[in-house]
Homo-oligomer: A and B are copies of this chain.
Amino acid sequence: MYHKINQSIIDQLKTIVEARNILTERDELLDYSHDEYSLDDISSYPDVVVKPPDAEAVSKIVQLCNQENIPLTARGGGTGLCGACVPVFGGVVMTFENMHQILEIDTHNLTATVESGLTLMDFYPAIEEKGLFFPPHPGDETATIGGVIATNAGGARAVKYGVIRNFVTGIEVVLPTGEIVNLGGKFVKNSTGYSLMHLMIGSEGTLGIITKATISLMAPPKELMTLVVPYDNLHDAISTVPAIIEKKILPMAVEFLELETAILSGKHLNKTWPCTQGSAHLMIIVDGTSEDEVMSLAETISEVCLDHNALEVFAADTRSKQRDILDIRSSIYEAMRPYMLEILDITVPRSQIAHFVDSVNAVAEKSDMWLPTYGHAADGNVHTHLMRYRWQNDEWHEIENWDEKYQTVRKELHDLGKKYQGICSGEHGIGIVKKEYLKSFLEPQQIELMRGIKKVFDPGAILNPGKIFD
């Protein structure tokens, strides 16, 4: 169906980007054949990787692919978890490591305009230096701005301030025709026709290629406090959260996790989780404009927690203790990764999390799989690891018949997500690995409309084919 890349195409690419920014050797292409989804069965090699220097080069490459009917898959930091940047049909993979400039930090408008290849790792310190703050923190800081926009990433700090979508005010996009358009701008308000920008956010590189973004920033919170709250069981821990929300308190982050996973992650980082009581913990970050405010919020939260069977409340008031706790929480995935099959991100209304997690645990017991579950308790975004190994007696043991159980358990968990009024992805996207579940979570008309929209933007179906609903 698609044409293969031949020498003539490579030669034409060389007229657009320098030869050193074109990779064609098999061993160089390996890194671009997968993202962080762990199983090999979805990996697929591109025929060529190109690293354009600017939007004009992106445009020319897109035009070439369009003319020649060659699939083109844009790739950010490769930190995705569902194969969204895997070139299913080969062809061109485009990466943005040569497009990582911060073009402007505008302190009058509180915006940053950056190229899409900028990593979060480079973005955070640059804006901090200007005394500004970008709340979303999708975990892996090697992710790029283009990548987090393409998946509408979230992370732990989305409870109070929202996900990536809430912070994008403008994007420059190369359409499949090669045309460069500017959607949005430096505006807080925009009612000028259909929001193509919001359609592009979360479209996983299937409608256009993001080359630049304007991001709105805010002042950093003046005061922060991190609480770690142990419980005897996850159900009590999670049940506390709606009660906190009912007090009209929206913390910056509310995470739930099992002590076991915190300890594993701590080992991995050589850091110590501050509390070893109980078996299930909440990690709560509150922010405010004064010490008094934060203290008073922490006090109210503590009372609610203790009313819901918390064993104690541990408060981390120094930045370094806070940093350690967030690092350990953020690295659970990293610590478990070599031993897991997949991390899910089913999202349910926050009032349903406790029921959902209880049911996940019942599935774990019934199937004799290990399904450690943690996540963003105040925004309903639950991460369940489907594990291939189990941590027992200080060692990893391969789970018997994991390969036979994997798909059944996976389906059961998604069925539960549906039962508790959830969706199959809160922040990771659909990519390849969740395609099969999309149709059980969305009405068929919605998927038909998405297909129709795809055809309008990309009639030749060259952009990231084989993804979401394709």
**B residues less than 8 Å from A219 (CB atoms):** 248-250
User: A103 at the A/B interface (Cβ < 8 Å)?
Assistant: no
Q: Is A163 interfacial (CB-CB < 8 Å)?
A: yes
Q: Assuming the A-B contacts A181-B445, A446-B183, are A195 and B192 also in contact, with contact meaning beta carbons closer than 8 angstroms in the complex?
A: no
- With A199-B199, A351-B106, A449-B457 already in contact, the answer to whether A430 and B181 are too (CB < 8 A) is no
Which residues of B sit under 8 angstroms from A128, Cβ to Cβ?
A: none
Bin the interface of chain A by size.
35 or more
Q: What are the 4 A-B residue pairs with the smallest beta carbon separation, nearest first? A: A219-B248, A452-B456, A198-B198, A189-B426
Which B residues touch A185, using CB under 8 A?
Answer: 349, 421, 423
Say yes or no: is A381 at the interface (Cβ < 8 Å to chain B): yes
Show 13 residue pairs from A and B whose CB-CB distance is below 8 angstroms, ordered by the A residue. Answer: A108-B246, A154-B191, A186-B349, A187-B426, A189-B379, A192-B425, A192-B438, A193-B468, A194-B449, A195-B198, A198-B199, A199-B453, A219-B248
Answer whether A447 and B193 are a contact pair too, CB < 8 Å, given A218-B250, A250-B218, A289-B288: yes
Query: Main SS of the interface on chain A?
Result: loop
Over the window 199-212 of chain A, the binary record of Cβ atoms lying under 8 Å from chain B Cβ atoms (1 yes, 0 no) is: 10111000100000
Q: How far is the CA of A428 from the CA of B457 in the complex (A)?
A: 27
Count this chain's copies in the assembly: 2
B-contacting residues of A (Cβ < 8 Å)? 106-110, 131-132, 151-154, 158-159, 162-163, 165-166, 175, 177, 179, 181-183, 185-196, 198-199, 201-203, 207, 218-220, 242, 245-246, 248-250, 288-290, 292-293, 345, 347, 349-351, 376, 378-381, 421, 423-430, 438, 441-443, 445-447, 449-450, 452-453, 455-457, 468-469
Chain B residues near A293 (CB, 8 Å)?
289-290, 293
Name A159's closest neighbour in chain B (CB-CB): B188
Query: For the complex, what is the distance from the CA of A202 to the CA of B292, rounded to whole Å?
Result: 41
Choose among B153, B158, B218, B248 the residue that contacts A188 (Cβ–Cβ < 8 A). B158
Contact A195 B202 (CB under 8 A): yes
Pick from B132, B196, B426, B443: contact of A450, CB under 8 Å:
B196
Are A456 and B445 in contact (CB-based, < 8 A)?
Answer: no
**A452 contact set on B, CB distance < 8 A:** 456-457
Which among B179, B193, B378 is the interface contact of A430 at CB below 8 angstroms? B193
